[in-house]
Chains A and B, each alone.
Chain A
Amino acid sequence: MSSFNNTDLSAFKNVWVFCEQRNGEMMPTSYELISEGRRLADELKVELVGVILGDGVIELAPSVGGYGADRVIVCNHPLLKDYTTDGYTKVLSDMIEEYKPEVVLFGATNIGRDLGPRCAARLHTGLCADCTHLDVDMDTYKNFLKETSTLAEERIDGIKEIKVLGEPRTLERELKMTRPAFGGHLMASIVCPRFRPSMATVRPGVMKKAPYDEAKAGKVVIEQPTVNLSESDIQTEVVDIVKAAKKMVDLIGAEYIVSVGRGIASDVEGGIKLAEELAEVLGGVVGGSRAVIDSGWLPADHQVGQTGKTVRPKVYIALGISGAIQHKAGMQDSEYIVAVNKNSSAPIFEIADYGITGDLFKVVPHLIDAIKAAKAEK
């Protein structure tokens, strides 16, 4: 157990974002978290700090400022070049013990979800996984509940404190971390009232990236603390890192997504071709339901949903997708949802802004023409 007293809540200050880079390139979700972290830091009236670990990665620091950080801590060390659980956990936990931030956010990437829990266990504090919404300010939080939950208003207004080990704790400075549970059937808001920092991993693609501010990028304060790390600290050996041969589809950043489901089964190739054409007309990409990925009709990086990617494009078109809760969990926050399904009682229609009952093979060619025509008119 760490020696630093993490029950002395008042000793902790500032919001930190672990800014994950791979091979010298910032993961896009780091900027989403910096943008969200800015709002939280303002609500707490503290500084927002980005933390970058790597080898020779200082040139990434200004970009973190450009999205809203006041300060960037850069930990450079040859042993931090590639991600290792041990190396990154040690350096980040040491920094947290020294600087005592009150909030630490990680992207819920395959690396963030390896590093976050290990640090939380070392620092003896809680961690909320895969959050989709964060709040500090109580009124903002209550408004969020009123807009998105089925809870009665009086219940929401009645939220004042939380009892922990028999003691009431105030919620004013608590980070309220909201996340789906049970595959999206339920939402839960989690707090970590007894220990600091409050830590969360945040689902990629959910928080909105702020506009980039060149002036702020130039002004950001950069700190480079000494890194204490030796080979004996690291118990795993990274033999090599292999990039996927094919270019991965960028679902998370896409503004238009056309997804196909098992409804294409009668003519898989034809169905995917139609989806690709429609996506091309819109300037978007093709996604799929898990059924499509499990059948091997599309590669795994195309999967939308609880165990795939969370997307929020301007327009999401679901072709022959029934709308299982695990699929909805990944796309229900899209700006506009369009569904084409043969079965008029498919659950996807419950969340569709525009529903079309019909055979996708017959409807989509008309859709392609109609969208081309509508775009040409502009």
Chain B
Amino acid sequence: MKIIVCVKQVPDTSGKVAVKPDGTLDRASMATITNPDDLNAVEAALSIKDKTGCKVVVVTMGPPKAEEMLREILARGADEAVLVSAREFGGSDTYATSQILAAALDHLGVDKDDIVFCGRQAIDGDTAQVGPQIAEKLGLPQVTYAADIVIKEDGKVSVKRMLEDGYMNINVARPCLITCIKELNNPRYMNIADIYTAYDKPCNVYDYELLKDSKYIDKTVIGLQGSPTNILTSFTPKQKGEGVMLQGTDAEVSKELADALASKHVI
């Protein structure tokens, strides 16, 4: 049994975000982090490894420098890493990305007892599409928004799948793909023993040559140009018009506010 975890390196949007004059993101000037939900996916895999001794393989598609992130996850306890990287893959939308990752996962082999984990969504695009789209390409059943995952005695996986107003309990046979949310667990830190061995563990690079003839890849539908969706315009939103800062004692400003809202007929 093995668990494959798809992880993405994303710009850290929690601080100041640098935008170029043409309205695109200045990625070069921003720090990168591992996508937060993906760390929950890694933790889910590692905790199953703790119990079963299964193998954990992390896979990312990204630029060569994403290897740093993979090494960090190896230092948390994953066993192997795969870096899917080629110029031809750059700029892919979710459809194109999922074709490439499906090809990579197929090359790696998704076997009878395996599970694929993804994060719910990546904070750069917030699409939550890549997981389900990989599952569709590979013909795997999927369960999204997982807040609890248990492998049952019969080998099936029982998942608590969150809804806005409650949850569903779902049983799914392996192999399957599950997307993880932050309520699932608290990701562990790197551990000393694994930090020492992180650089000895295998980190394979899958390039265009290796994947281009995969049945999952339609070469006319990958990369920036081939992706089904294209960015027409990107822009920074205008700040809302000038507001007023009310001045005076707490009682005065409260009255002023209430009067203003009443005169605008909103209360």
Chain A residues packing against B (C-beta within 8 Å): 1, 22, 82-83, 85-86, 89, 109-111, 113-114, 116-118, 120-122, 124-130, 145, 147-151, 159, 162, 164-166, 171, 174, 176, 180-195, 235-244, 248, 282, 301, 306, 314-315, 325-326, 332, 335-338, 344, 349-358, 362-363, 366-367, 369-371, 373-375, 377-378
Contacts and interface: CB of A to CB of B under 8 A. Distances in A.
Interface stretch (B73-81, B202-210, B236-244): B236-244
A356 B253 contact: yes
Contact of B129 (A117, A180, A195, A356): A117
A85 B169 contact: no
B243 A337 contact: yes
Nearest to A363: B250
A362 B250 contact: yes
B93 interface: yes
A248 B165 contact: yes
Most chain A CB within 10 A, of B126, B235, B257, is at B257
B254 A193 contact: no
B221 to A, nearest CB: 8
Interface stretch (B38-46, B58-66, B136-144, B192-200): B136-144
Contacts of A236: 141, 143, 170-172
27 contacts: A110-B144, A124-B221, A130-B126, A159-B232, A162-B230, A183-B123, A186-B17, A186-B25, A187-B237, A188-B234, A193-B230, A239-B171, A241-B166, A242-B169, A306-B126, A326-B13, A337-B240, A344-B245, A350-B240, A355-B245, A356-B254, A358-B253, A363-B254, A367-B257, A367-B258, A370-B259, A374-B259
Given A282-B267, A351-B240, A176 B172 contact: no
Nearest to A198: B229
A190 B163 contact: no
B238 to A, nearest CB: 6
A111 B229 contact: no
Looking at chain A's contact residues, the main secondary structure is mixed
Interface in B195-233: 218, 220-221, 225-233
A189 B126 contact: no
A248 B164 contact: yes
A325 B245 CA distance: 20
A370 B95 CA distance: 54
Nearest to B248: A356
Which range holds the interface residue count of chain B?
Answer: 35 or more
A191 B232 contact: yes
A194 B230 CA distance: 10
B163 A111 contact: yes
A371 B266 CA distance: 11
Nearest to B159: A236
A159 B166 contact: no
B127 interface: yes
Given A121-B133, A338-B257, A354-B244, A127 B95 contact: yes
A130 B128 CA distance: 9
A283 B70 CA distance: 51
A151 B229 contact: no
Contacts of A182: 11, 13, 17, 25, 123-124
Most chain A CB within 10 A, of B19, B225, B231, B243, is at B243
Given A150-B235, A189-B234, A241-B169, 9 more contacts: A110-B163, A118-B142, A121-B137, A129-B129, A165-B225, A357-B245, A358-B250, A371-B267, A374-B258
A121 B25 contact: no
B190 interface: no
B53 to A, nearest CB: 27
B173 interface: yes
B132 interface: yes
A166 B130 CA distance: 26
B257 to A, nearest CB: 5
Contact of B236 (A149, A165, A378): A149
A164 B176 CA distance: 35
A151 B165 contact: no
A118 B132 contact: yes
A194 B228 contact: yes
B230 A349 contact: no
Interface string B12-50: 011001010001110000000000000000000000000
A121 B254 CA distance: 54
Contacts of A352: 243
Contacts of B123: 182-183
A117 B230 contact: no
B195 to A, nearest CB: 29
